[in-house]
């Protein structure tokens, strides 16, 4: 069985799927009425299907660098197939000997109804690797095939696939009864890596036993040490998303590949967490602090590196403009760290509380987007409002308006007088 997953290219690129190859065009026909027999191949029908596929793809034959042939390996079938290919190619090119031709049947035999999908998979791998695979056991061509006058040659060794433009290939499949099919494939477009803006990465490992967990850690260390080209963000993603989770688990936080290797060689208990998932887990709780935890540039690295955090802070800052008569971001993230005016403003209750609410709310939204669902939330003072907002007690903009008004009213109150209480006895109470 062979499986090919198809998707619109625009959708795949937008969602950053891994694209193996592009289907440029295809064609299918049936020339049963024009054939001399049920099993006889037809030069006219094959050439028509190939020509139609090239036309549907909108490409010239001289841009095709490889053809995965049907390749029956028979004295009659192969000469007819090369003749049909030559006739189709001659409509747009006069070049000779530039296009490799082979068939996966030489490697694995005929797969009957699965033959075509095997050929497509082979060509997709060749396009991805940029290499032309050889045809095994080839010594001399069928004497009925004039390769010298055709665009084709039979590759006998693995070679690099050089091309002036995107690599393209054709795949043919011809069935009994007159069915002819041809598909044109193109290498996937190069998509630049977006990289990761995070300065720390979480590597997760799990195994069925403690000994297997240690072995997995050693294998990861050796792999990272041997592969300088690895992106640690990709490694972290694969370990988190692409691996089964077993009871015995280990998590480590590291800066880069070299840091991960050092940490795996010499574990630091401050940066490595181990546990057994078979034990009861109480869940995660979100704790939101109150006034007094604020400082200029709090969470600025998240604002600069995490799009969702930035979007939430920006939305909150815009919603607060009419209530604060300023852009809160100019105080949270001033142009210079030594901005004394921003530090002074942030100490004012009317600014402190909205700033803390925005930061705590955006941070919680970021964690939620990563799949961290709290089993409980608790807050102190204005932190209670953040918890209530996230719990759905009121909407974000309503909460922001409430916090801004509350903070303004608190700042407008006169300073509390100092009081001294002298306890004369256990029964006495302050007046």
- Picking from 283, 184, 196, the residue whose alpha carbon sits closest to that of residue 232 is 196
The pLDDT assigned to 422 comes to: 44
3-state secondary structure of 353: helix
The pLDDT assigned to 90 comes to: 97
pTM for the predicted model, two decimal places: 0.60
Measure the CA–CA gap between 407 and 275, rounded to whole angstroms. Answer: 43
Give the N- to C-terminal CA distance of the chain in Å, as an integer. Answer: 89
- Picking from 291, 418, 417, the residue whose alpha carbon sits closest to that of residue 349 is 291
pLDDT along the chain (431 residues), means of 10: 93 89 97 81 94 97 97 89 97 96 93 92 97 93 93 96 96 91 96 72 94 96 93 91 91 93 91 83 88 91 92 97 95 83 90 96 95 93 95 95 95 73 43 37
The pLDDT assigned to 10 comes to: 93
**CA 57 → CA 53, 143, 186, distances in Å?**
6, 33, 10
CA angle (134, 140, 143) in 5-degree steps = 130
**CA 137 → CA 98, 105, 107, 111, 224, distances in Å?**
21, 12, 9, 19, 39
**CA 43 → CA 46, 82, 86, 92, 143, distances in Å?**
5, 9, 10, 18, 18
The pLDDT assigned to 430 comes to: 41
The pLDDT assigned to 176 comes to: 82
Question: What is the third-level CATH fold of 9-187?
Answer: Peroxisomal Thiolase; Chain A, domain 1 (3.40.47)
In the sheet that holds 21-30, the strands lie side by side as 21-30, 179-187, 168-174, 66-68, 99-102, 152-153
The pLDDT assigned to 198 comes to: 77
The pLDDT assigned to 369 comes to: 92
Question: Domain map of the chain by residue range?
Answer: 9-187, 201-280, 286-412
Domains 201-280 and 286-412 share a fold: no
Q: Which CATH code for domain 286-412?
A: 3.40.366.10
The pLDDT assigned to 426 comes to: 43
Measure the CA–CA gap between 131 and 123, rounded to whole angstroms. Answer: 10
DSSP conformational letter for 113: G
Q: Which CATH code for domain 201-280?
A: 3.30.70.3290
Measure the CA–CA gap between 361 and 161, rounded to whole angstroms. Answer: 53
The pLDDT assigned to 275 comes to: 87
233's CB contacts (< 8 A; 6+ apart) are 195, 196, 198, 201
Measure the CA–CA gap between 274 and 393, rounded to whole angstroms. Answer: 36
């Amino acid at each position: 069985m062979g499986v090919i997953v198809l998707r619109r290219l625009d959708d795949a690129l937008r969602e950053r799927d891994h694209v193996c190859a592009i289907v440029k065009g295809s064609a299918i026909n049936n020339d049963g009425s024009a054939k001399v027999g049920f099993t006889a191949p037809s030069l006219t029908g094959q050439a028509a299907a190939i020509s139609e596929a090239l036309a549907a793809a909108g490409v010239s034959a001289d841009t095709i660098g490889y053809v995965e042939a049907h390749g029956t390996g028979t004295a009659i079938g192969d000469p007819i197939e090369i003749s049909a290919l030559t006739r189709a190619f001659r409509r747009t090119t006069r070049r000779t000997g530039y296009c490799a031709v082979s068939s996966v049947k030489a490697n694995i035999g005929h797969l009957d109804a699965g033959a075509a999908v095997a050929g497509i998979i082979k060509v997709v791998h060749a396009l991805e690797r940029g290499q032309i695979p050889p045809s095994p056991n080839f010594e001399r061509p069928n004497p009925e095939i004039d390769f010298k006058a055709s665009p084709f040659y039979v590759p006998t060794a693995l070679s690099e696939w050089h091309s002036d433009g995107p690599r393209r290939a054709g795949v043919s499949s011809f069935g009994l009864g007159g069915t002819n099919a041809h598909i044109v494939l193109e290498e996937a477009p190069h998509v630049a890596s977006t990289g990761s803006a995070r300065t720390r990465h979480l590597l997760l490992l799990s195994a069925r036993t403690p000994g297997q967990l240690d072995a997995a850690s050693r294998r990861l260390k050796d792999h990272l040490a041997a592969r300088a080209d690895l992106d640690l963000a990709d490694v972290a993603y694969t370990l988190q998303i692409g691996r089964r989770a077993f009871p015995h688990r280990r998590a480590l936080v590291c800066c880069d590949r070299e840091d991960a290797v050092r940490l795996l060689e010499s574990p630091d208990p401050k940066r490595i967490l181990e546990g057994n998932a078979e034990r009861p887990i109480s869940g995660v709780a979100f704790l939101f602090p109150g006034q007094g935890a604020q400082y200029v540039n709090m969470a600025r690295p998240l604002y600069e590196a995490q799009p969702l955090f930035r979007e939430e802070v920006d939305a909150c800052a815009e919603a607060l403009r009419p209530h604060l008569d300023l852009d809160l971001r100019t105080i949270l993230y001033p142009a210079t760290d030594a901005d004394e005016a921003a530090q002074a403003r942030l100490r004012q209750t009317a600014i402190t509380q909205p700033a803390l609410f925005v930061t705590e709310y955006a941070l919680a939204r970021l964690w939620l987007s990563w799949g961290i669902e709290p089993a409980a939330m608790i807050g102190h003072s204005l932190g209670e409002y953040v918890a209530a907002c996230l719990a759905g007690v009121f909407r974000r903009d309503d909460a922001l308006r409430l916090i801004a008004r509350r903070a303004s009213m608190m700042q407008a109150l006169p300073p509390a007088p100092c009081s001294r209480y002298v306890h004369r006895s256990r029964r006495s109470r302050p007046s």
